[in-house]
Amino acid sequence: MPFSFHRLDIPDVVLVRPARLGDARGFFMESWRRSSYLAGGIDAVFVQDNLTRSGPGVLRGLHYQRPPHEQGKLVQVLRGRVFDVAVDLRPHSPTRGRWVAWELSGESGELMWVPPGFAHGYAVLGDGADVAYRVTTEYDPSSEAGVRWNDPTLAIPWPLAEPVMSERDRGLPLLADAEAAG
């Protein structure tokens, strides 16, 4: 199988390790094959691809879309490294309000599946990063929402003391307020 699937502490968030074929020229790898992902327990149909380029010290998130436009995301770092975080916001989930994180890098080629109902964000480690992600629902500005990155309830140990962020992300609500609005 060209992929291995590893469930993280929140089992619906999955680390995907693609097989790489390499030689002196570089490498080849598949990042998505529907039949393999189905066999690995991920039943996703992607409708939009996104790409971000971020400089050193950038933190993006924690973003999500409210129902009925919630998005599943398959996140991949093409260049650089990020501390990638998923926060469970699903109303009836036993892990609601918990988070998981993993360091993704262009070097490792690992991807992270973040299912619908999760807030997602990442902090750039090192000199910068290009992050690509596929989503299961098209972006809908009226459904856009988020949770504050440094919410003390979540206590995420971000690896950046003073991140570079958008004003919008700095002003996102705390988890308790975001949940009430969702």
Residue 6 among the catalytic residues: no
Q: Which of 6, 37, 63, 139 is catalytic?
A: 63
> Letter for the amino acid at 107?
E
DSSP 23-62: ETTEEEE-S--HHHHHHTT------EEEEEEE-TTBEEEE
The identity of residue 4, as a single letter, is: S
The structure tokens 């790489």 sit at 20
- What count of Cα atoms within 13 Å lies in the side-chain half-sphere of residue 114? 30
- Please give the Cα distance from 136 to 8 (Å, whole number): 21
Those residues whose C-beta lies under 8 Å from the C-beta of residue 70, and which sit 6 or more positions away, are 64, 116, 117, 137, 143
Q: What is the full DSSP assignment across 134-146?
A: EESS---GGGEEE
Active-site entry in 37, 64, 122, 133:
133
Q: Count Cβ atoms below 10 Å from residue 68 Cβ, excluding itself.
A: 8
Q: Judge whether 63 counts as a catalytic residue.
A: yes
Catalytic center residues: 63, 133
